[in-house]
Amino acid sequence: MQPSPALKSPSLRAESAAALGVFGALTAGAGALGALVTDHGTQLWYRRLRKPPFQPPSAVFGPVWTVLYGLMAVSAWRVWNRPAGPARSRALGLWALQLGFNAAWSWLFFGKRLKRTALADIGALGASIAAYIAAARKVDKPAAALVAPYLGWVCFAGLLNEELVRRNPS
């Protein structure tokens, strides 16, 4: 694939690098907020929950989310670098929507301990990621492919959330 026309001049390359920084900061911010609430909320309450046998060790979540947040940022940046228009605006709007659902999940699950509400949120998160992928594919196919692992992980996380609701009804 040819580089975006926006990357040909030095000033546009600087603008593009700044945009990558903004998308990186947005995803890192969502991740940091989630980590703060998760660190605070994983104390005794989370440890006492009955978990399914396929629950990954806690040490897995940080590295997985770090990679996924990086892929999310690069995906949005790639879409942003394509020519402006309704398709690009729709894709970026859906990207922002999924980021909001992403940030809300940790607050709902760990911060407020609302397992069922978090389950609804993660369903909306999965749907918004799928919608973003479909919209991004029309603008930049590699950008859409970059977030496919994220959708897979969120589906798995949704299954974990559902099992935690089922195994811990109160």
Whether residue 33 contacts residue 106, with contact meaning beta carbons closer than 8 Å, is answered with yes
Q: 4 lies in a domain?
A: no
b/e map of 132-141 (b: 16 or more CB within 10 Å)? Answer: bbebbebbbe
Residue 22 falls inside a structural domain:
yes
pLDDT in tens, 101-127: 999 999 999 989 999 999 999 999 999
Mean pLDDT of 121-143: 98
Q: What is the CATH number of the domain that holds 95?
A: 1.20.1260.100
Is residue 73 in some structural domain? yes
Inside any domain, residue 78 = yes
Q: Is residue 3 assigned to a domain? A: no
This prediction's pTM: 0.87
Percent of the chain with pLDDT over 90: 69
Least confident of 11-15, 17-21, 43-47, 157-161: 11-15
Mean pLDDT of 88-97: 98
The pLDDT, as a whole number, for residue 31 is 85
User: What is the C-alpha radius of gyration for the chain, rounded to an integer number of angstroms?
Assistant: 17
pLDDT at 84 over 90: yes
Mean pLDDT of 76-90: 96
107 within domain boundaries = yes
The answer to whether residue 162 is domain-embedded is yes
Domain count, the chain: 1
Please, what is the average pLDDT of the chain?
A: 90
Half-sphere exposure of 141 (CA within 13 A, CB side): 2
Query: Using 50, 70 and 90 to split pLDDT, how confident is the model at 158?
Result: very high
62: tokens are: 């940080």
Provide the residue range defining the domain that includes 152.
9-167
Confidence at 10, pLDDT banded by 50, 70, 90: low
- Judge whether 1 lies within some domain: no
